[in-house]
């Protein structure tokens, strides 16, 4: 019995036992298609189909949305989602595809939506039947998120939306979007409102989704253009003008600092022929043992060795930080570690992939379309893709402002 199990409440213990038993018998097994590292990189419909089936079955088993109320399609449990997550990780399952829906849209709709809308949208969100995307960033509103130009105009009982969203992951598959936009041009922060809007059902009828090609050559995110999209007033979350406040609920959950635990599965490694696992230092050590410089392997080079060890120490410290984050008495400030997660995790992954790039030497020039590329070309790909996450969800420069101001109490930067 692990330490976390010993602390289970009776409800959690029973839940854990059921979850474990179900997972033993219902692991979805290896897919026939290559899965990307995470849901935000999904571009293959077959991979999505496999993952949606997995999410649906996990939802039916009560492992997704465990803490949401039953009238919204949830399990009605108390503090059981974290148990479900532990058990899904333990069983090394695939990840859940509806990541934006689960991590950001669901808690926001749950805390700010009308009952009717919650009951309409949340069950299909939790089951993964409806895929969700997030409409926050715009060409002129990146780090300065409140600078929204997309405009919703009230016409009778409806709203008419016009504007342009960018970097919209999963929009090409999405049924719904959480949308932050402007309803009043005279007030930057209090002139914002928050809606949920249909995407797939409105394609060609007020909504256009166009893929943006990443620097890697992959698709996966999009721009979304609204031209006179008409939506009912019931799809507004909270009051007109309360959009910024609602967005804070979304962002708190995105950073793992919200009221509800996000359903999260994962841990499955895909058995492909030569693709490297680009988040693992042990894969880096393997790479070093098979790369050569100065007539020896890179694993014999003292500078390379030192760099690898630095990464392993960072990985361990990240793990131990996450452990300490759960012990209130060992925190100098309640949010001090929680708010570091995104920053520290994304920079770790970036530096790990960059080191691999270094270790590969001349072979680092080879990409996915070359059969001789070490690790199937995954390391250079991971390095380039790592910038997506150091920039997204509040660029790490903005994260440093947040930490400096909210945790250390330093004066606000503009």
Q: Which residues are catalytic?
A: 254
Residues 363-402 that bind another protein (CB under 8 A): 397, 400-401
x/- map, 332-351, another protein, by CB under 8 A: x---xx--x--xx-------
Beta bridge partners of 226: 163, 207
Q: How many residues bind another protein (CB under 8 A)?
A: 50
Q: What are phi and psi of 258, to 5 degrees?
A: -95, 180
The verdict on 329 binding another protein (CB under 8 A) reads yes
x/- map, 285-324, another protein, by CB under 8 A: x--x-------xx-xxxx--xx-xxx-xxx-xxx-xx-xx
Beta bridge partners of 196: 178
Distance in Å, CB of 283 to another protein, minimum: 13
Q: Which two tokens stand for residue 87?
A: 């058990």
Q: Which two tokens stand for residue 334?
A: 């309640």
x/- map, 7-46, another protein, by CB under 8 A: x---------------------------------------
Buried b (16+ CB within 10 A) or exposed e, 111-144: bbbeeebbebbbbbbbbbebbbbbbbbbeebbee
How far is Cα 181 from Cα 314, in angstroms, rounded to an integer?
39
Distance in Å, CB of 193 to another protein, minimum: 31
Distance in Å, CB of 79 to another protein, minimum: 15
The verdict on 359 binding another protein (CB under 8 A) reads no
**Contact partners, residue 112, CB within 8 Å, separation at least 6:** 194, 237, 238, 242, 246, 249
**Contact partners, residue 381, CB within 8 Å, separation at least 6:** 216, 278, 367, 368
Q: Which of 326, 334, 361, 370 binds another protein (CB under 8 A)?
A: 326
Q: What are phi and psi of 146, to 5 degrees?
A: -75, -5
Residue ranges in contact with another protein by CB under 8 A: 2-4, 7, 285, 288, 296-297, 299-302, 305-306, 308-310, 312-314, 316-318, 320-321, 323-324, 326-327, 329-330, 332, 336-337, 340, 343-344, 397, 400-401, 403-405, 407-413
């Amino acid at each position: 019995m692990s330490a976390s199990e010993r602390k289970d409440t009776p409800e959690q213990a029973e839940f854990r036992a059921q979850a474990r038993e179900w997972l033993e018998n219902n692991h979805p097994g290896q897919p026939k298609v290559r899965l990307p590292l995470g849901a935000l990189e999904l571009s293959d419909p077959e991979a999505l189909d496999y993952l949606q089936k997995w999410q649906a079955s996990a939802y039916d088993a009560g492992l997704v949305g465990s803490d949401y109320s039953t009238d919204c399609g949830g399990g009605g449990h108390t503090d059981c989602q974290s148990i479900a997550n532990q058990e899904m990780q333990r069983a090394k399952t695939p990840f859940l595809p509806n990541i934006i829906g689960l991590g950001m849209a669901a808690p926001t709709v749950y805390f700010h939506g009308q009952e009717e809308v919650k009951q309409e949208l949340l069950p299909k969100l939790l089951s993964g039947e409806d895929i969700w995307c997030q409409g926050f960033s715009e060409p002129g509103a990146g780090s300065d998120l409140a600078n929204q130009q997309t405009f919703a105009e009230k016409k009778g009982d409806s709203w008419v939306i016009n504007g342009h969203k960018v970097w919209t992951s999963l929009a090409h598959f999405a049924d719904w979007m959480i949308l932050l936009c402007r309803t009043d041009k005279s007030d930057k922060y209090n002139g914002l409102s928050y809606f949920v809007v249909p995407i797939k059902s409105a394609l060609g009828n007020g909504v256009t989704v166009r893929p943006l090609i990443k620097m890697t050559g992959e698709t996966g995110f999009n721009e979304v253009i609204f031209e006179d999209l008409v939506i009912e007033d019931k799809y507004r979350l909270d009051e007109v003008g309360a959009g910024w406040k609602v967005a804070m609920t979304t962002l708190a959950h995105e950073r793992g600092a919200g009221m509800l635990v996000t359903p999260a599965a994962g841990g499955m490694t895909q058995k492909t022929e030569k693709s490297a696992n680009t988040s693992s230092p042990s894969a880096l050590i393997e790479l070093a043992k098979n790369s050569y410089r100065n007539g020896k392997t890179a694993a014999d080079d003292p500078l390379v060795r030192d760099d690898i060890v630095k990464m392993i120490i960072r990985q361990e410290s990240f793990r131990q930080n996450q452990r300490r984050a759960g012990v209130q008495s060992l925190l100098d400030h309640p949010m001090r570690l929680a708010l570091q997660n995104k920053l520290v995790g994304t920079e770790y992954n970036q530096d790990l992939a960059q080191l691999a790039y270094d270790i590969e030497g001349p072979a680092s020039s080879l990409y996915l379309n070359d059969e001789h590329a070490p690790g199937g070309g995954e390391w250079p790909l991971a390095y380039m893709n790592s910038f997506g996450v150091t920039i997204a969800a509040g660029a790490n420069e903005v994260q440093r402002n947040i930490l400096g101001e909210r945790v250390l109490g330093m004066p606000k930067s503009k």
